[in-house]
Amino acid sequence: TLTTMAGFVPILMTGDTFWLPLAAGIAGGVGGSALIGLYFTPAVFRIMTMKSIRRLFGYRPPPRQHPAE
């Protein structure tokens, strides 16, 4: 991620009217997706597994099935 963003620095420094927005969009997208993948996704999974949240939305674990005797 950092190497990809660093690779766009020379393009960002040129100030070209075509390449500047393209490089900024790609570098920003790569950086943004890395932040989402590292922080947002684990936080959402943590929230989803909290017992109080599951209870709030009415989650009930499936009944246990006992093997036939």
* Distance between CA atoms of residues 19 and 37, nearest Å: 27
Rg (the chain; Cα; Å)? 23
Q: Say which residue the tokens 């075509």 belong to.
A: 18
Residue 69 confidence class, pLDDT cut points 50, 70, 90: low
The pTM of this model reads 0.55
pLDDT in tens, 15-26: 778 888 888 888
Contact 11, 23 (CB under 8 A): yes
Instruction: Using the CB atoms, write b or e for 14-35: b if 16+ within 10 Å.
Output: eeeeeeeeebeeebeebeeeee
